[in-house]
Structure 1
Amino acid sequence: MYNLANNLERNATFRPNNIALIFQEQKITYQELNQKVNAIADHLHQLNIKPNEKIALSCPNTPEFVIAYYAIQKIGAVVVPLNVMLKGEEVAYHLKDSDAVALISYQGSDAMPIGQFGYEGYTKADFCEHFILIETAPVSKKPAEAHSFNQWLETGRKTFETVYRSAEDSCVILYTSGTTGAAKGAELSQSNMLCNAQACQALTNQKGTDVSIAILPLFHTFGQSLIMNTSILAGSALVLISRFVPKTVVQQIHEHKVTHLAGVPTMFIGLLAYAEKHPGAYLKEIAQTLKVAISGGASMPVEVLKQFEEKLQVPVIEGYGLSESSPVAAFNHLEFERKPGSIGQPLPGVTMKVVDKNGHEVPTGQEGELVIRGHNVMKGYYKKPQETAKTIINGWLHTGDIVRFDDEGYIYVVDRLKELIISGGYNIYPREVEEVYMSHPSVHLVAVIGVEHPRFGEEVKAFVILKEGHSISEKELIKWSRQHLADYKCPKHLDIVEALPMTATGKILKRMLK
């Protein structure tokens, strides 16, 4: 019997005065954090919310996210974290689909009215009985029926007896577009989440004396498991960043002597661009304290990885995972050779193989779809048995990613199965084209997609963001690519753009480019 919140309680007992959270000027110890969590758990319990019932949480990276997340765990309920960018109709869909009985929502600002959209969604979801507002403005703006999170913190009991859970009891439901179709909830167990946090702690060698930084949103699986839950497990301090701004991130890393940094490739690209523009910005001091940088969420361009390691004198370890695998499934290990471009090897207790379209394992070195089995594989998509059956076949999670193994068991992601471009019978992997373009001195960021062609079926199109102060034409970039790529892989169309559509976690939304 176990509950994810036990990790917090353990540190509140053994290291009560250690700093747990740092947010702007605020510092919260483990003892204080546990007491705040207990106060919210007490009030949730008073609403008569039962174990296994669902509570949605819409909040940016502030202490309230961590407090609410662990309070929901303490009462034995299931957390449904929501993307803070969702509008009213989208919030309503998630509340209805997850059977959420309550929504805890951050109020936000006029520029980002999270609470307004949250309340809109709540009023359209009949099953959802309670709306709890985390106020950031005068109380007069609070809907009459809303509970006040801030008042709960002041009036709730500082002690609370945690509801114990079994290993297979649900812990969180993470919404994802998944490997097939529209948004659906990946249902993850207590065991899934605990094992993943333990694996991440071992991978990154995180201790209670370390300091990690949350630049990824905590509502997303990567930020939640690899950053928040791992820090709380290790008893280390966690610096919360509510919005990714490279200058702020660099300042916070320096000020709080951050040892562990995790992000997606676009964040590393942004930090690298800032470092190049401001070479004196604490880089030497940061290099002395930063122990490891962790990249995931998408494939890191090899050129970016090399430059980041060179600039900050820190090892960058690249890993792989998805919401359906809790999320971490494979990683490069600090004690072994790190191969640029590789996602490393499977976690202990996780088995991976590469299969063809008929589900047969292919020889080493050959490309195919990655399938996963182990303690990290989700219970299934919530209330979607048919979708689950398409994704988990005979116990194996089908990822939709094309990979290959080398002779030493290192895995290389070639591309997404659904992003493969087939032109005149040739297979073209967008990532290969993107890697080439990322080595061009004027290119800041690139996304490659397939567009329709009457004769060849598809052809290659690239969208490029140039580095600040650089100038080059579309024709010149296409011409340059012909020196580095086979003709059939070269973009036939190329647009230089100011920005690319991205998710809240910094992943490029290629479907929006089509």
Structure 2
Amino acid sequence: MNFARFCALNAKKFPKREFLIEIWPSKAVRRSLAWDEFNEHTDRLANYMVKECEIGKGEIVVQFMRNSLEWWVVYMAVLKAGGVVTPLNFRFAANDVKYAADVARCKVLFFDGALSSCIEPIANELDCVNRFIGVGAGLPGFATPYPEALKKGDPSPILADAHDDDMAELMFTSGTTGAPKPVCHTHGSLFYIAVSNALTFGEGYESVYIAPHPLYHSGSLFYSFPSYMSAGKVLMPMELQPRSMMESIASERATGGWVSVPIWSDIINAVKSEEIKVGDYDLSGLRYIALGAQPVPAVIIEEGKRLFPKVKMMNTYGITEGGGGCSVALYDEDMARKAGSIGRPGPFMEVKIVDSEGNELPYGNVGELLVRGPRLMKEYAFNPEMTARTITDGWLHTGDLAYYDEEGYLYFADRAKDLIIRGGENIFPAEIEDVLRKHPKILDVAVIGYPHPRLVEIGMAIIQPKNGVVIEDQEVIDFCRDRGLAKYKWPEKFAYAHIPRNPAGKIEKAKLREKYVTAGGGAA
């Protein structure tokens, strides 16, 4: 079953009902697409890709775009055409985009005009790409403008045959170093993700889902699928400042959605400082706010419940490989009683905690968290070895350490990986370390997560300069920029000291965390 089939189904049943809303309160700008418009646009673009770009079944299309109505059109049009859609982080630097495009061997690349500076330097190096299609103003001459492609496309209905196990989407979870990790989701897994998220959140026809965060993120996109399937609405607030967010939620009578910790924290602080007043906004439609994508500080949950007592709060857990958030969820009724928990398995999902030998552990014992269910990825595309290590007997190894309590509620103990989550964005320290080790003044370096009051974590670089050499923070930042490292990956805190390594040569990051975070009482 092609996951794009709901475009035509909902257009037939609810042609004039709005589906997508893009809103800019400070500019008094509101754009929208009804179901009939959305379906026609996706048909036109899908036919254009098939006839003009020779996109066939299983061929990959990269999508390097910011949130917009067009983002959704491109995503579903690729699926209608039988292709595989690959949404990229729009914060990627040019070398990140090239890496992903080369790994995916994409034939078509969609991009925003505002992101042209990332595409122009690499366009001639992308031998696999036979068509660049640009959205918005400021496009380079080699790009086909999106309106031209849409106009040229045949409006006739199109929906390629697809089996549940056919590749539908690739989502990259790593940067330019290490083995490629394009997570492959199928038409079937996308369907189960949509249904299980609908059951978890109670989403459906009456939903006005809030999608403020980038749609390349599995949380933001996958949480919006129930509204897509059931002819609900998806609201994309384009301004994330507290006042604008509250205006967007109130004016569109939003019912709920996933909001990252930094954005929710900003709203809470704005209310506490009386920059905004809750009573000035009609929030009668708002049923819940889901938090997740990173560990959620207890104070954020407590303050949210106090300031918005009628809004239910949820804490969700998931990874892209496991179908995003809601593999595990903690509901509002348990927030106070089970503070710190990430909850219990969501619909269709099973979890277990195992030791290093794969033996299941009883409650209270820390081990690796494994998940199983129909929302899991099919594989790491083009990497069967990594897939075999990650999925064993249907169980996905998350790499996260956790434990159960006696009632079956799950708690994080630590992350087995060194992943840093900055405001919901994944940062892989090895990528930054590899860049900084090329600096002529640096002998060794380690990057760790450091606590931050708003972003929860930022990158901290502990640098061991070469003997007799002095290096300044700004030199490090300039080097990161000059080497093409995306800005959100740049270290934001620095220390200059010896880097401890064990006899096997591995950096002893536990010692560094103890020194700079735990003992140092870390607070940025």
TM-score range, shorter chain: 0.7 to 0.9
- 2:262 match: 266
For structure 2, which runs of at least 5 residues remain unmatched after alignment? Answer: 24-29, 420-447, 463-498, 503-507
Farther off after superposition, 152-161 or 189-198 = 152-161
Match of 2:300 among 289, 304, 309: 304
Q: Is the 8 A contact 2:199 2:347 kept in 1?
A: no
Shift of 1:23: 1.2
Distance in 2 (CA, whole Å) between partners of 1:413 and 1:59 is 33
CA drift of 1:296 comes to: 1.8
Aligned to 1:186: 183
- Alignment of 1:93 onto 2:99: yes
Is residue 89 of structure 2 the alignment partner of residue 83 of structure 1? Answer: yes
Are 1:380 and 2:379 counterparts? yes
Is the CA contact (8 Å cut-off) linking 2:196 and 2:348 kept in structure 1? no
1:107-122 → structure 2 map (5 Å cutoff): 107-108=113-114, 114-122=115-123
Cα distance in 2 for residues equivalent to 1:351 and 1:496: 36
Q: Secondary structure at the match of 2:116?
A: helix
1:321 corresponds in structure 2 to 318
CA contact (8 A) 1:41 1:160 kept: no
Q: State the 1:403 CA deviation.
A: 0.9
What amino acid is aligned across from residue 43 of structure 1 in structure 2? Answer: Y
Tell me, in whole angstroms, the C-alpha distance in 2 between the residues paired with 1:11 and 1:334: 30
Cα RMSD (Å): 2.8
2:237 pairs with one of 235, 241, 251: 241
Letter matched to residue 254 of structure 1: A
Question: 2:317 touches 2:329 (CA, 8 Å); kept in 1?
Answer: no
Q: 2:48 aligns with which of 16, 22, 43?
A: 43
Q: 2:455 and 2:101 mapped to 1: Cα distance?
A: 36
CA contact (8 A) 2:400 2:416 kept: yes
Distance 1:225 1:444 in 2: 25
1:463-482 pair list within 5 angstroms:
none
Q: Does 1:136 align with 2:163?
A: no
* C-alpha displacement of 1:358: 1.5
Residue 63 of structure 1 corresponds to 69
Give the whole-Å Cα distance in 2 for the aligned partners of 1:446 and 1:234: 35
Offset of 1:12 from its aligned partner? 1.0
1:319-374 deviations in Å (ceiling 9; x for gaps): 11111112235343658644332222112322110011121111112111101121
User: Which whole-Å CA distance do the structure 2 matches of 1:405 and 1:368 have between them?
Assistant: 10
- Per the TM alignment, residue 155 of structure 1 is displaced from its structure 2 partner at its CA by 3.5
Gaps of 5+ in 1: 109-113, 421-429, 464-489, 498-514
In structure 2, the residue matched to 1:74 is 80
**Alignment partner for residue 31 of structure 2, among 13, 26, 32?**
26
Give the letter for the 2:163 counterpart: S
8 Å CA contact 1:381, 1:388 repeated in 2: yes
Counterpart of 2:511 in 1: which secondary structure?
Answer: strand
Task: Kindly provide the amino acid, as one letter, of the partner of residue 33 in structure 1.
Answer: F
Task: Output aligned runs, 1:499-510, within 5 Å.
Answer: none
Provide the residue aligned with 2:250 in structure 1: 254
2:290 aligns with 294
* C-alpha contact (below 8 Å) 1:404/1:414 kept by paired residues: yes
Deviations 1:12-40 (A, max 9, x none): 11111111111132121111111111111
User: TM-score under structure 1 normalisation?
Assistant: 0.79
Q: Which residue of structure 1 lines up, in the alignment, with residue 277 of structure 2? A: 281
SS at match of 2:48: helix
Q: CA offset at residue 160 of structure 1?
A: 2.0
Which residue is equivalent to 1:3? 2
Given that 2:293 and 2:325 are in contact with CA atoms closer than 8 Å, whether structure 1 keeps it comes out as no
CA contact (8 A) 1:196 1:328 kept: no
Does the 8 Å CA contact 1:133/1:149 hold for their aligned counterparts? yes
Instruction: Please say if residues 317 and 331 of structure 1, whose CA atoms lie closer than 8 Å, have aligned partners that are also in contact.
Output: no
Other structure's SS at 1:493 match: coil
How far 1:419 sits from its partner (Å)?
4.5
Residue-by-residue CA offset, 1:399-421 (whole Å, 9 max, x unaligned): 0111111222221122211349x
Is this contact kept in 2: 1:203–1:334, CA < 8 A? no
Which range is displaced more, 234-243 or 363-372? 234-243
Distance 2:292 2:390 in 1: 21
1:131 CA displacement: 0.7
- Give 1:492's aligned residue: 519
Match of 2:399 in 1: 400
Contact 1:89 1:120 (8 Å CA) reproduced = no
Report the alpha carbon displacement of residue 297 of structure 1 after superposing the two structures with TM.
Answer: 0.8
Q: CA deviation at 1:183?
A: 4.9
Structure 2 SS opposite 1:418: coil
CA distance in 1, matches of 2:149, 2:257: 33
- For residues 452-474 of structure 1, the C-alpha deviation after alignment (integer angstroms, 9 at most, x for no partner) is 569997154698xxxxxxxxxxx
Residue 414 (1) aligns with residue 413 (2): yes
Query: Cα–Cα, structure 1 residues 495 and 351, in superposed 2: closer, same or farther, change >3 Å?
Result: closer
Q: Is the 8 A contact 2:204 2:226 kept in 1?
A: no
Contact (CA 8 Å) 1:260, 1:290: kept in 2 or not? yes
Taking the aligned partners of 2:189 and 2:90, their CA distance within structure 1 comes to 24
Give the secondary-structure state (helix, strand or coil) at the position aligned to 1:304.
helix
Q: Hey, what does 1:471 align to over in structure 2?
A: none
CA distance in structure 1 between the aligned counterparts of 2:515 and 2:221, rounded to whole angstroms: 32
Cα displacement (A) at 1:128: 1.6
**One-letter amino acid of the structure 2 residue matched with residue 117 of structure 1:** C
How many percent identity over aligned positions? 23
Alpha-carbon distance in structure 2 between the residues aligned to 1:121 and 1:418: 31
| Distance 1:496-1:300 versus aligned 2 partners, 3 A rule | closer
